[in-house]
Amino acid sequence: GVLVTDYNEIPAVWNFHNAATSLRDAVYQAINQTSIDIGMYSSPSAFSTTLAEDIAHLYQEGRIDGDRIIESAARVIQLKGKLGLFDGSPVPPQQTMPIDSYRTHSATPAGETCFFGCPEHHAMAYNATRDSMTLLENDGILPLNASNLPGKRIAVVGRSCNSVPYMAGGWTVHWQGSHDPADFPYGTTVLDEFRARFGSDNVVYSPGCSLEEGSSCTAEELQNATTTATMAVVTIVCVGEAPYAEIVGDIYNLTLPGGQIALVEALHGVNPHIVTVLIEGRPRVLGAIPSLSRAVLHAYLPGPFGGRAITESLLGIHRPCGRLPITYPKYLSDGPLQYWRRYSADQFGDFEPQWEFGHSKPYDLFLYSGITAALHELSDIEVNATVTNWGSATATQTVPLFITQTGRPMPAEVKLLMDIRKITLAPGESGQVNFKFSLFNLRYYNEVGCKCLAIRPTFATVGTSKPMVNPPGGNTVKVELGLAPHGPDDIIDLSECPLEPYFRARMVKSAFAPSGAPPPAGLGESEDYFMSSVVCFVGGVIATCLLVFFVRRKNRARHESSTVQLFEPSGV
């Protein structure tokens, strides 16, 4: 492979970051102080036309080694060879299957050649989109009962419900994304999918409000949307943002743009059966939308297959199994919110964001039992749990594992995500989830920057993002480390490599001492090293004390000999 800079980053060292004296100096730094192979330049660009000239001058001046140039050139040539650019064709072989072949083929047919955009690729993209769907709220309206919907009208409201470009977001086709459906020769919208299933006459649509920053809902747009909602038994409303990317897409206010909060309020006023779909790449404050919605599905930026994944999730064809990967703010003043820390507002009372990190409300009830957590093989922690599907359909559950440690000298994470598992179960079926991670993942830095490990109460929480540690309860259990604290010595400094073998030796000693069994071979040297270090340290302290004693005694004698006697001693 090759290493490529970001856009215009070599000249930016000079003309933006002000870290070079000239463009040539910036080129020198990029070549001589990094392993960059390719500079990403705008085209055409005065910078790119002078790059080769600058490299040539630097080489002639002896500031760049020729081997450094050959090294990067070799990697670039090797990559071009792998892409088939030296096979006599100016471009790599093209796919031979039509762009919409995924509709009729689940795999590339025998005898066909496909390199990109193949049915397998489309299937992988759809599966990733489908598995990311995250149900945040549901009062029972979902999944929509398809058998009751034929002949009844469904309202679909919102520009994102009828736009593949809006579902794709920024960095798709163009830097700031696209607004042109022609840029997407495949994929379907939410409106497309509902009309394909229930007929155009039974699915009415209103574009709602503009999603552009700084825009608002006009009276005409609100009237059109509410009229549409009154014609239906349920309203699917998509809210979110227009496509954006870095810099140009930066915002200074997290409020949902375009008067969409007012739109949902107006829709609720004429039809309270609202299902809200969030199509956004960052959390926007939603105001009253969650409380006015009977269900909320987060689709993120699902891409061209978002229409199908969203629709199948709402109808229960797919059971949403995603979990929220952020802490979603409720108010503008909430951020930043870090899931592993207590919220600052908790100091003044209970504080709750809109939704916690890891939150989800699946259609099916999953119960956890038999949770165990213990030290295994002296350095690994194993956590096991049984998961049972008490729902009515086969479904996948995403199972997170959080670790909490209490009583640590430095502030500890209230919960730390260690791992995630997925398990698919039929109704009434139970299955095991197993986690294994190193005890040394709990290391932390102390006040002087040393990496330490504390032998303190440690708890494992499975399947929920809300640990219960005082006392352990719910899905939280105490990790049986088999190691008792040894006073102040239970804080182990691992900043020096020799101490880590010592720690392992002490773990072995603690684990085997009750049975009287000797520690495994190979650990004695580590303990001997530690004991030798202790002896040397104590010896050094004693020697220092003796030295200080003799120096002070000598100084005292010198002081007494130089003292002037002011009074005659009294006689008898």
Q: For the residues of 327-390, what is the DSSP string, one character each?
A: PBPSSTT--S--TTS--GGGGGS----SB-TT----SS-EEEEEEEEEEETTTEEEEEEEEEE-
pLDDT of residue 450: 80
Confidence (pTM): 0.79
**pLDDT of res. 452:** 84
Does residue 243 have a cis peptide bond before it, meaning omega lies within 30 degrees of 0?
Answer: no
Residue 486: Cβ within 10 Å count = 12
Question: For the domain 124-347, what is the CATH superfamily, name and number?
Answer: Glycoside hydrolase family 3 C-terminal domain (3.40.50.1700)
Q: What's the distance, CA 406 to chain centroid? A: 24
Domain ranges across the chain: 9-82, 124-347, 366-485, 496-533
Q: What's the confidence (pLDDT) of residue 554?
A: 57
Cα distance between residue 104 and residue 116, in whole Å: 17
205 beta partners: 156
- Cβ atoms of 159 and 166 closer than 8 Å: yes
H or E element that contains 399: strand 395-405
Question: What string of pLDDT tens digits covers the 572 residues of the chain?
Answer: 899 999 889 999 999 999 999 999 999 999 999 999 998 887 666 555 678 889 999 999 999 999 999 999 999 999 998 888 888 765 555 554 555 555 555 666 776 667 777 888 889 999 999 999 999 999 999 999 877 777 789 999 999 999 999 999 999 999 999 999 999 988 999 999 999 999 999 999 999 999 999 889 999 999 999 999 999 999 999 999 999 999 999 998 999 998 999 999 999 999 999 999 999 999 999 999 999 999 999 999 999 999 999 999 999 999 999 999 999 999 888 877 888 887 766 655 667 899 999 999 999 999 999 999 988 766 789 999 999 999 999 999 999 999 998 888 888 888 999 999 999 999 999 999 999 999 889 888 877 778 888 888 889 999 988 888 777 888 999 887 766 554 555 666 665 434 444 444 444 444 444 444 444 443 334 444 444 444 455 555 566 666 656 556 655 554 444 433 323 333 33
Residue spans of alpha helices (H) in 200-283: 219-230, 260-270
Specify the pLDDT at position 241. Answer: 95
Architecture of domain 366-485: Sandwich (2.60)
pLDDT of residue 521: 42
**546: phi then psi, degrees, rounded to nearest 5:** -65, -40
pLDDT of residue 519: 41
Distance CA 111, CA 211 (A): 46
Q: What is the pLDDT of residue 62?
A: 94
Q: How far apart are CA 298 and CA 131, in angstroms?
A: 12
